[in-house]
Structure 1
Amino acid sequence: MVFPHDTEYALESAAALVNTGRDPSGTDLLPDVAGLDTFVDRWGWTGRRDHDETELAAVQALRPRLEVFWGQDRDAAVDMVNELLAEFRALPQLVRHDQWDYHLHATRAEAPLADRMAVEAAMAIVDVIRLDELGRLLVCAATDCTDVHIDLSRNRSRRFCSTGCANRTNVAAFRARRANAV
């Protein structure tokens, strides 16, 4: 395990949030409050929910702020993490809830959803920076995909955001080799 479980989950959640705004067709994968509800349920976000357009807009506006961590150098990432933590007045504390044992939260459960998402992502990036592992924040290697992902493999070998992208790329390479051999 590279990172603690809660850090891995926060990184994967941040990547999933970023990817909701990166669909190659230009379709927003968080188009409405119902879509946000589905995302929040999928990732198990707890705490305050307003279930309105203002909350949706705030979460949508957070995506490009988190997206910049993929491809940043360490010093630039530090500046952005510190900016997010200061902006949302992060105050780390240990909490235990639902199925989770003690882990860090840095905002109160009553804080707006987008604020909590920003701080959770920033706290996870803190661990990435401290371990000098920014190279694990990657963009999918498939030529037809722009999704971001986290390489949590021991040998840093994950290049694709999903098995679907890996399979498509590998099948295309196989077919190209086969066509060149004939």
Structure 2
Amino acid sequence: MNFAHDTRVSLETTVDLVNGVAADRLTTPEDLDSFCAKWEFTGSRTHDDAELHEVRRLAVRLRGLWGRDEDGVVEEINDLLEQGRALPRLVRHEGWWDYHLHATSPEQPLATRMAIEFAMAMVDVVRAGELDRLHTCARDDCDGVLVDLSRNRSRRYCSTQCGNLVNVRDMRARR
């Protein structure tokens, strides 16, 4: 499935957020600043512990979508959209992406903007019948999540590191 650029980026951002919080890589406001810079989040920021807490809480909530059935995912998406009072509009940032969707104002809290971006991306995933692209890592001792955006649906691990660890373990077992 070939999703729009902003949908793909939102899905990848959410995976990074969920896995980052689970691995305790987002523990300080500075970590969140780096995360937002990496994923080019625009809009208002408070850069404080309260903002970090809300984003971490959101990550836990979004993690709950992996493994849910379609009706459960749709219910959560609709709840996120309603809570954030989503109002989709096309936006173009000077020197960045071409037109893409924003569904909140830039003044909304960061966690609200993140939730709405993910919910809007998931609307595309559900409508395309592609929920089976949401997986958990195939490594036995990893709880990481992933969105398989590969053409042949072959992605199994949340990171290259997990894939490498499994390959090394398998190679040692064969010896």
Which TM class, normalised by the smaller chain length? over 0.9
Aligned-pair identity in percent equals 55
User: Partner residue of 1:7?
Assistant: 7
Q: Distance in 1 between matches of 2:15 and 2:106?
A: 22
Match of 2:98 among 97, 101, 104: 101
**Letter of the 2:146 counterpart:** H
User: Partner residue of 1:91?
Assistant: 87
SS at match of 2:92: strand
Match of 1:41 among 11, 14, 37: 37
Q: Which piece of structure 1 moves more, 61-70 or 110-119? A: 61-70
SS at match of 1:45: coil
Match of 2:172 among 162, 167, 175: 175
Which residues of structure 1 form unaligned runs of 5+?
Answer: none
User: Partner residue of 2:59?
Assistant: 63
Question: 1:79 and 2:94 equivalent?
Answer: no
Encode CA deviations 1:45-91: one digit per residue, 9 max, x unaligned: 01101111111111111111111121111111000000000011000
Alignment: residue pair count: 174
Encode CA deviations 1:109-150: one digit per residue, 9 max, x unaligned: 111101000000000111110111111111111123221111
Which residues of structure 2 form unaligned runs of 5+?
Answer: none
**Which runs of 4 or more aligned residues in structure 1 lie more than 2 Å from their structure 2 counterparts after TM superposition?**
none
SS at match of 2:174: helix
User: Partner residue of 2:121?
Assistant: 124
Q: TM (normalized to structure 1)?
A: 0.92
